[in-house]
């Protein structure tokens, strides 16, 4: 399996650094190769093309991201608590990897429609996690029975995304995780109300 070989990860990690430091449009394959310490041609032994690097990067990082959140949530019983843990983890993980935050919030969005559709595929895993929490909350009475899951999920995801993007655009100069409780409060109010 190619994904287990050390150069595979070397290249992915190099891509995150290069994109974060140079921007999406200045992240040439040759720069990524140099940062990874391999020849340009070597990239193509591990990835089909440049787009494949970016998708793999997103899958890899976001997969890990979701796994971690699922682990954290596992121990909690109530939907409200789970949502808090999710917001906290989301904010904490991104604030701990400044390069990744820049890449996911700003740079990767400059990619073309096709790539963004594939990124959305990856995000679906995250979105179903949110959906699962919402359904659970509705079932056990924490959230309003009338709550429209899809819209609520869009509110939750849209709000977190906007908060993180604003933070990145402000050069990450304030503490993101400490915003989690307030954001959580806003979100569950929306979900609880009729």
- ∠99-154-108 over CA atoms, to 5°? 25
Instruction: Give the orientation angle of helix 6-22 with respect to helix 50-74, to 10 degrees.
Output: 100
Residues 6 or more apart whose Cβ sits within 8 Å of residue 142: 78, 79, 80, 191, 192
As a whole number of angstroms, the distance between CA 28 and CA 126 comes to 29
Using the rule CB under 7 A, is 45 a contact of DNA? yes
As a whole number of angstroms, the distance between CA 130 and CA 142 comes to 15
Q: Please give the DSSP secondary-structure letter assigned to residue 103.
A: I
In the complex, minimum distance from the CB of residue 106 to DNA, in angstroms, rounded to a whole number: 18
Q: Which of 49, 169, 175, 178 binds a copy of itself (CB under 8 A)?
A: 169
129 binds, among a copy of itself, DNA, none (CB under 5 to 8 A by kind): none
Window 47 to 76, contacts with DNA (CB under 7 A)? 49-51
Tell me the number of residues near DNA by CB under 7 A.
Answer: 20
Using the rule CB under 8 A, is 23 a contact of a copy of itself? yes
As a whole number of angstroms, the distance between CA 100 and CA 50 comes to 18
> Which of 46/126 has CB closer to DNA?
46
Q: Which of 7, 9, 116, 132 binds a copy of itself (CB under 8 A)?
A: 116
As a whole number of angstroms, the distance between CA 184 and CA 125 comes to 21
Cα dihedral sign, 76-77-80-82? positive
Using the rule CB under 8 A, is 106 a contact of a copy of itself? yes
Cα dihedral sign, 40-45-47-53? negative
Using the rule CB under 7 A, is 43 a contact of DNA? yes
Q: Which of 9, 16, 20, 28 binds DNA (CB under 7 A)?
A: 28
Q: Which of 12, 18, 20, 29 binds DNA (CB under 7 A)?
A: 29
Stretch that binds DNA, among 33-41, 110-118, 135-143, 180-188 (CB under 7 A): 33-41
Q: Which of 17, 23, 42, 122 binds DNA (CB under 7 A)?
A: 42
> For residue 173, what are its two tokens?
């100069």
Binding site for a copy of itself (CB under 8 A): 23-25, 106-107, 109-113, 116-117, 120, 148, 151-152, 154-155, 157-163, 166, 169, 179, 182-183, 185-187, 189-194
């Amino acid at each position: 399996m190619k994904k287990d070989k050390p150069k595979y990860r070397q290249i992915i990690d190099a891509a995150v650094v290069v994109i974060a430091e140079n921007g999406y449009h200045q992240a040439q394959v040759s720069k990524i190769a140099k940062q990874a310490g391999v020849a340009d041609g070597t990239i193509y032994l591990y990835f089909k093309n440049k787009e494949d690097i970016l998708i793999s990067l997103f899958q890899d990082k976001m997969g890990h991201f979701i796994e971690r959140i699922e682990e954290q949530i596992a121990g909690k019983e109530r939907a409200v608590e789970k949502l808090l843990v999710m917001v906290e983890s989301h904010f904490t993980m991104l604030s701990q990897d400044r390069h990744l935050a820049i890449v996911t919030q700003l740079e990767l969005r400059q990619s073309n429609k096709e790539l963004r559709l594939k990124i959305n595929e990856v995000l679906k895993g995250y979105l179903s996690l949110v959906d699962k929490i919402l359904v659970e909350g509705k079932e056990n009475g924490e959230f309003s029975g009338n709550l429209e899951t899809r819209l609520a999920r869009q509110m939750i995801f849209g709000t977190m995304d906007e908060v993180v993007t604003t933070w990145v655009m402000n050069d990450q100069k304030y503490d993101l995780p400490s915003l989690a409780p307030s954001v959580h409060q806003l979100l569950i109010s929306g979900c609880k109300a009729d």
